[in-house]
């Protein structure tokens, strides 16, 4: 489950570490989201991408039973028990994840000291902000 020449995500990892090192400020959350949107991330998938690019990502549940998609800043960060259930990995821009996930939250670097989660509502708010900014730019 290795990816050739996966780009190092130092900015995103640095922002995750800063945001999870203690009390998280709104500014740190915004920094993580901006870094995420401009980074390549990896997610474990049950199958290889189809001809149309569709995949079945591994999904988890949070403590309240809500669906959550685990994402990773590198292929090496995917826990071994995930690779058994989802032996494939897909590399995608964070911005594509935000645009395509409509019914789940996400967690970046699940299981790491710097794991960072966004609820379904937070993902929706980020997506709506992106759409709003895109429509503002076209006026």
- pLDDT digit string (tens) for 25-64? 888 889 999 999 999 999 999 988 778 878 889 999 999 9
Predicted pLDDT at 15? 93
Please name which of 85, 106, 95 lies closest in space to residue 134, comparing C-alpha atoms: 95
Q: What is the pTM of this model?
A: 0.85
What percent of the chain is predicted at pLDDT more than 70?
Answer: 91
**What pLDDT, in 10s, does the model give residues 67-97?**
999 999 999 999 999 989 899 999 999 999 9
Candidates 39, 51, 49; CA nearest to 12 is: 39
Give residue 2's pLDDT: 43
């Amino acid at each position: 489950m290795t990816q050739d020449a996966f780009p190092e995500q130092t900015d995103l990892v640095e922002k995750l570490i800063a945001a999870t090192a203690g009390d998280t400020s709104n500014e740190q959350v915004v920094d993580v989201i901006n870094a995420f949107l401009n980074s390549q991330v990896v997610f474990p998938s049950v199958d290889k991408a189809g001809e149309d690019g569709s995949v079945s990502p591994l999904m988890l549940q949070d403590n309240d039973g809500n669906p959550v998609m685990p994402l990773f800043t590198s292929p090496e960060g995917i826990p071994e028990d995930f690779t058994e259930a989802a032996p494939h990995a897909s590399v995608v821009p964070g911005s594509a994840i935000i645009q395509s996930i409509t019914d789940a939250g996400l967690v970046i670097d699940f299981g790491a000291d710097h794991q960072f989660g966004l609820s379904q509502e937070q993902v929706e708010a980020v997506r709506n902000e992106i759409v709003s900014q895109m429509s503002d730019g076209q006026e």
